[in-house]
Amino acid sequence: MTTRRSFLRATAGAGAGAALGILPATRLRGAPAVHLRRVTPVCIASGNGLTAVTRAMEVIHEEGDTLDAVLQGVTIVERDPEDTSVGYGGLPNLEGVVQLDSSIMHGPTRGAGAVASLEGIKAPSLVARDVMRYTDHVFLVGPGAQRFARSMGHPIEDLLTEEARRRWVEWRARLSDQDYFLTPEQTLHHLPDFCSGAGQGEGLLDSHDGMRPHGTIHCNVVNESGDLSGVTTTSGMAWKIPGRVGDSPIIGAGLYVDNDVGACGSTGRGEAVIKTVGSHAVVELMRGGMHPKDACLEALRRIVRFTIEPRLRDERGLPNFSVNYYAVNKKGEYAGAAIWAGARFAVSVDGDTRPEDSAYLFQPDR
């Protein structure tokens, strides 16, 4: 059908840092000296990351380390109770417990760290950094990750805000007509503690797949020397089965950094990203010469091809959820891209911090 609007549009969401000169590259012990073109530093993040890229770029301009930059950025959001997709204030699992996932990668040292199903820590990205810094491992999960975090001095705190609890109670009440949970409408009682505020029930349908709100912050950066780092951190899919791990803490899925090539991270439906090893795929496509925008769109097409389950497809046979990729290469070229039109991402470059439209595969029928 020629009138269909499900067309590929690849004009949005791409930018480039200018190549200006020659700088000596960061040199790993034993590695041959490589000379890189000086790049314009750029930091990008998911749409909820404007404050994160602002802070990260300040650190870069102070000649701080690239991983320190993205961590200083995203921890602002992790500690913000207003962001219900990350850290403190994140929406809980089906038992009302907030479980957090995060991964980090440091390009110059080829370092990686990750935590999953971590409870009681506001900034899981800092625990992921400590896994990289203080252990011979890459990935700690659950109670072991929490004991490790406590040993590193991270305080254990209650992460469930009143707003997150109110939304969980609302969701639980609508779960089934065959259990004993009821909505205030069904009991004909008003619950002032939970329901007197504005926006009652909002957000229950705010995800792309209709029923499961999820959000995440990803942030990556390249500095003037072409060094890269990235971080992805999330409370994961709201109301998830306890112990569910999404893409965010899985190296290669929700985050991948290769200091020779570029960095990529993801937000959106983690299960789809895990099955296609999304961020690694984007970096490998960039290694093959693709611009970040084209690499992200190609990795998104793989997700479309992998989505054969009827429950995950709309009436046109397209995914009924979205995934977003954010990629930057060693030259400072960058892009955000999503399955569905309308996504935006945060960029800080050349002294300017702004949201930009993501490239996309499909527009919804109107």
Residues lying near ligand GLY in the complex (CB under 6 A) are found at: 214, 216, 234, 236-237, 246-248, 267-270
Rounded to an integer, what distance in angstroms lies between the CA atom of residue 72 and that of residue 35?
29
Min separation Cβ 253 and ligand GLY, Å? 9
Q: How many angstroms separate the Cα of 255 from the Cα of each of 135, 190, 266?
A: 20, 44, 7
Quick one: how far is CA 231 from the chain centroid? 8
Dist CA 139 CA 104 (whole Å): 10
CB of 239 or CB of 334, closer to ligand GLY: 239
Shortest separation between residue 249's beta carbon and ligand GLY, angstroms: 9
> Parallel, antiparallel, or unpaired for β 111-118 and 139-141?
parallel
Cβ atoms of 222 and 348 within 8 Å: the answer is: no
Residue 268 Cβ vs ligand GLY, minimum distance, rounded to whole Å:
6
Q: Is 216 a catalytic residue?
A: yes
Q: How far apart are CA 1 and CA 8, in angstroms?
A: 14
Nearer to ligand GLY, 48 or 248 (CB): 248
> Phi, psi (5° rounding) for residue 127?
-70, -40
* Cβ at position 362, least distance to ligand GLY in Å: 19
**CB-nearer residue toward ligand GLY: 268 or 319:** 268
Q: Distance between the two ends of the chain, CA-based, in angstroms?
A: 15
By DSSP bridging, strand 111-118 and strand 42-46 are unpaired
Identify which of 237, 5, 258, 308 has the alpha carbon closest to the alpha carbon of residue 111: 258
Q: Which is nearer to ligand GLY, 64 or 242 (CB)?
A: 242
Q: Which of 66, 75, 216, 307 is catalytic?
A: 216
Q: Which is nearer to ligand GLY, 113 or 236 (CB)?
A: 236
* Phi and psi, residue 37, nearest 5°: -70, 140
CB of 214 to ligand GLY, least distance (A): 5
Q: Which residues contact 150 (CB under 8 A, 6 or more apart)?
A: 156
3-state DSSP assignment of residue 139: strand
Q: Which residues are the active-site residues? A: 216
